[in-house]
């Protein structure tokens, strides 16, 4: 080891009047691990189906609809939960989405959609925001499970295979055509929204 390197480590190990720098770094490192572990655990806990339907606004409205769809029950037993469609997987986009979703706490406190009637009155607005977000991200969350490359047109119905080919050629994204895939479509949609 060079003299500079050994001198550096000697300074780290040398006791100060209170703590050595090495001890402070060790405590900081260990604290960081505990903080990150706790933070990550909280992030994962808020991505569960149980968390998403823990408020009656979701449990009594969109969850009931979702339970009627192929994303909930299908022949293969593969289930997509709320976070699979509404929360990106990669860390950066996930954090941005979590910050954005924190606005829902304000809505909860203010009672914005706390009744079926209020929810239905806001459904088109809420859906439009989600469709815009998905369109902007090229349906990133859909593509976690679905991709044009992974599709076998020969095993699709003729109409589906044709429409997927057109969508691929026209650079369309999943949400352009699949707006009612997991929840009821809002009343008052414009005709061009109803693909």
Give the separation between CA 140 and CA 52, rounded to whole angstroms. Answer: 20
Give the separation between CA 102 and CA 176, rounded to whole angstroms. Answer: 26
Query: What CATH number has the domain bearing residue 75?
Result: 1.10.3820.10
Q: Check pLDDT > 60 for residue 1.
A: no
Polymer length of the chain: 195
pLDDT tens digits, 69-105: 999 999 999 999 999 999 999 999 999 999 988 888 8
The proportion of the chain whose per-residue pLDDT surpasses 70, expressed as a percent, equals: 91
Give the separation between CA 59 and CA 185, rounded to whole angstroms. Answer: 17
* Total structural domains within the chain: 1
Q: Measure Cα distances from 190 to 88, 123, 124, 174, 185 in Å.
A: 28, 14, 10, 18, 11
- Domain containing residue 47: 23-193
Which residue's entry shows tokens 């000697």?
10
pLDDT tens digits, 116-164: 999 999 999 999 999 999 999 999 999 999 998 999 999 999 999 999 9
pLDDT tens digits, 152-172: 999 999 999 999 999 999 999
Is 4 within the bounds of a domain? Answer: no
Is 3 within the bounds of a domain? Answer: no
Which residue's entry shows tokens 């954005």?
100
Is 9 within the bounds of a domain? Answer: no
């Amino acid at each position: 080891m060079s003299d500079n390197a050994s001198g550096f480590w000697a300074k780290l190990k040398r006791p100060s009047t209170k703590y050595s720098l090495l001890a402070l770094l060790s405590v900081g490192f260990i604290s960081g691990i505990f903080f990150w572990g706790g933070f990550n655990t909280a992030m994962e806990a808020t991505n569960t189906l149980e968390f998403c339907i823990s408020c009656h606004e979701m449990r009594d409205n969109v969850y009931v609809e979702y339970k009627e769809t192929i994303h909930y029950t299908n022949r293969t037993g593969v289930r997509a939960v709320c976070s699979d469609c509404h929360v990106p997987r990669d860390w950066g986009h996930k954090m941005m989405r979590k910050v954005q979703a924190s606005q829902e706490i304000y809505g909860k406190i203010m009672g914005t959609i706390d009744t079926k009637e209020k929810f239905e009155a806001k459904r088109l607005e809420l859906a439009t925001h989600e469709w815009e977000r998905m369109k902007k991200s090229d349906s990133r969350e859909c593509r976690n499970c679905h991709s044009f490359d992974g599709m076998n047109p020969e095993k699709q119905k003729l109409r589906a295979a044709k429409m997927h080919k057109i969508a691929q050629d026209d650079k369309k994204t999943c949400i352009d055509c699949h707006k009612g895939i997991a929840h009821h479509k809002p009343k008052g949609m414009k005709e061009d929204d109803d693909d």
